[in-house]
Amino acid sequence: MSTRPTVLITGASTGIGAVYAERFAQRGHDLVLVARDQARLDALAARLRSEHNVGIEVITADLTQLSDLTTVEARLRDDARIGILVNNAGAALSGNFISQSTDSIAHLVALNTTALVRLASAIAPRLAKAGVGAIINIGSVVGLAPEFGMSVYGATKAFVLFLSQGLSLELSPQGVYVQAVLPAATRTQIWDRSGIDINTLNEVMEVGDLVDAALVGFDRREPVTIPPLQQAERWDGLQAARHGLLEQIRQSVVAPRYQPPV
């Protein structure tokens, strides 16, 4: 068994989660793999055990179901070996807002936001008490771009970014590293499951490239990692503009442009 912290990865059966499992196994970490597809989890676990000689446990769970979610939460609270959480499980929806059913929207929000924040809440107090550990939250550049027309999905990913930045400010002084990873279009099964033909997209990143880049950011302890962003200065500029805007907010004084006419 590894002396490195165990990594719990959600959405681990395919795509980004499966590649994170591969990469952390290569680094010598034991794993807890969480997803709905038992057969795929078992096949991945067997291969990684054989290739990398690490301990791997599988938890079959649908994180939109409270009973399954609380099982994973309990594991994160109670298992002191788990020092890294990869909050990767997520889904997307095809169509525009008025064509999406209320139930499908609620399901998306439950998986992309509620499950993610509950799992982070389950592990964060223990990591902070220990003074070490990491939480990786998989967001999306769509969370920066309402212009892309994916209103609910983008809103959930904006939540992931905001939450990650807030947790980073709160937890980093206590030794806990929080990283938000913002992919653009990546070749995973999320597209098929949401009814979107990935072949209609002009540019798609390979999932291995995405995770390898995200782990470069992880090793650098970046609070926000955006693998497809070609000029890091653009993100720095956005942050500077946001801080400048906040400096102009005076909580007790209405801006002159909103003063009622005399």
Which residues are the active-site residues?
Answer: 153
- Return the SS3 of 251: coil
Other CB atoms within 10 Å distance of the CB of residue 255: 9
Could you count the other beta carbons within 10 Å of the beta carbon of residue 43? Answer: 12
CA-CA-CA-CA torsion for 222, 172, 175, 128, nearest 10 degrees?
-130
Question: What are the φ/ψ torsions at residue 135 (nearest 5 degrees)?
Answer: -125, 125
Residue type, 249: I
| Cα–Cα distance, 96 to 262 (Å, whole number) | 43
Beta bridge partners of 86: 9, 136
Strand positions, DSSP E, the chain: 6-10, 31-35, 56-60, 82-87, 133-138, 176-181, 224-225
